[in-house]
Chain A
Amino acid sequence: MRKRSKNFELYSGGTPSLRGTLAKIFILGIVDAGVGFVLMILFGKQKYGFAIFFAVVALIVNWIYLRRGGLPAKYLTPGVLLLLAFQVYVVVYSGYISFTNYGSFHNGSYTEALDAIQQAAVEPIEGATEYEIKVSKASDGALQFVAFDANTKKIYIGGENYAKHPWRELTSADGLVTNADGYPESITGQTFLTDSQVNDLASTITKIKIPLGPNLDTDGFIATADAFYAQQNRFSYIYDEKNRVMTRLSDNKKFIADDKVGFFKNKDDGELLSEIGWQVRVGWKNFQKIFGDKELRGPLTGIILWTILFAFGSVLSTFILGLALALVFNDQRIRGLKIYRSIFILPYAFPAFLSAYVWKGMLNTQNGFINNTILGFMGDHKIQWFEQQGAARAAVLLVNLWLGFPYMFLICTGALQAIPNDLTEAASIDGASSWKIIRLIKLPLLLVSLAPLLIASFAYNFNNFGAIYLLTGGGPFLDQTLKVTVGATDILITFVYRIAFSGSIGADYGLASAFSVLIFLLIGSISFFSFKRTRGLEELTQ
């Protein structure tokens, strides 16, 4: 307790300078002005819940900086706020998503899914008339279809805002002028759109549904797919809002909204109405899939093994090379040492994403620099860097060695120089050979101080998305028979990324989030326990 109060005394008190106080008021003023501005927008958009939340946060921040004391909060608040918004929230959100079926087929809410299904399922009424249409604008700005029936030569009109502009036949009383073939030329109060205007409005025009009777579901409607022809259409399904049942008109089959799977499903044979569904909570299903799905298990085991091999191999190879170089070049007798060091770290200074592309180009099997110049002596026996599993994995490791060894060189050099000279001098006076000094004194000390960094490096490489994604994209994809796409150099994270964002069977954020939660737990606990262990190690030796 004594220590604590002493600590607070140390950083409290003193006379605040006028400049400091003014700066504080000024910055807080700017922040509050920004908050006020955002609040005004939020109220304008009637987002009251969010506005209140935002205002409360702002009030807390003001309180933290205006009260006396509470020093830690004053230093921590900016960082904590950003961390909460963009890191903690992301983790929590992913955790939540991992218990849902969120994905490209379960993209939104129930109503959104309903809308999408009905928009997509439109069919012409049997024996319906097809019209040639021209799109026009009524005096109130509503878009109208002027429809010409080539058989009967009758002309109809109707369109947006259909309460005011219902579907009806046009007569000369409307100021209709037709040409010799009976096509409409002009109508009072209507302006025909030009082709380019039609193009610009295409997405609006194709959404217009002009009802043919009081009930849109049963009476059908006029709609167009291309803004040139329109038909009498109807929805393929009728929706019963009370019971949440869709009836397919073609065969009267009923599909019930099933909140367990997020689909409209037939009770008897399990047929789905549409592959469009809505987002629902699915419990542990995603996790069960990861551990239980037989089609996933085989490839997944392979991927995990390779991920560990890749991460371990990367750390080991870069560390060995970096350490060896650090030992060799920790020697003031070498002339030009500074220049050497500067050149050695160039791969680290060069932006990594550019390096990945450069290596990708150099490793190109047919036209790459490596196969044609460096390995030119091999003639036509070109190594298929990106086509074979072994070569591709070797390439990935090689590139990662190139990218990573300067980092290890730097930190090993630093750690070596931190070893007190008297230790090594004492040993050499006792007659120890330089190899013995390295092995028995330098290496153990080095490992103690570098262990946390090596663990961090392992964790980093375990999730080294860029190194794999930019170089091979996870490929080559040799086994085409698998249900899930698995490449020969896929590490866990690139594999999961594909599930989440570019799955061949549609994105599955739920499953991908379950994977990220597991990766997080795995890497988190490995790091947690190793840090604890190494910290113990450090305390033992000091």
Chain B
Amino acid sequence: MTDRDQTISEDELHAYVDGELPANRRSAVEAWLAVHGDDAARVAAWRAQAELIRKRYGGVASEVPPKRLQVERLTRSRRGWMAAAVAAVLVAFIAGGAAGWFARGAEAASPSDLDRFTADALEAYRLYVVEVRHPVEVPGDQRPHLVEWLSKRLGSPLRAPELERMGLKLVGGRLLPGPTGATAFFMYEGPSGERFTLYCGRTSDHEMALRYTTGTQNAAYYWVDQNVAYVLSGPAERDKLHDIAQAAYDQIDTRTPPQGG
């Protein structure tokens, strides 16, 4: 009984229940369950749970889907919603002290724009990242126009980084109010719908390299270059976010090479 080879791990019990266990381990698990009543009870409970879930929701798959989910209909109206990507109401965004929750996570040594920018940028991220039909004011296929417009409003030459090689497509951008006036907001999207946003606004902060700040769900990299603060926001997966921020940072940094003096 104390033979280590015969010990069955909890992972194997799950794999057994889910039909993922290699055939040659199945009889070992069954022998184990025959003499370990507590494990047998757990396995039975897990099976019962699965049964309850299937009983409760399995029938949905036999329903006739509503018309709005027909592929035919969705492909026909595609051009419609693309064209409809126009300005959204921003009042809700400005109202409310939205910065509070994030300020807890930010490490602010001195009074700087970092807190306000990251809080506002994450708020904008959370507000727009869920939008399907109107995530941006100007779609990404009008990149030159978008960048020119936002640069003008910001009063600083901007650039929407090319992140295609990271699998991210420019969805587009919009103009937003920010801590120091007009800010530019670019949205990128990966093939599975994950979204990242780059928020840019003027700042009096000094040059600053990448800084990471995180909330409970989202995270951001903040940096400053040529009196413009950038906040790249996305899901709180640090490595991925870092790679994207680094790519954006590099592109923006090399935009104006050092003048050598």
Q: Do the two chains bind?
A: no
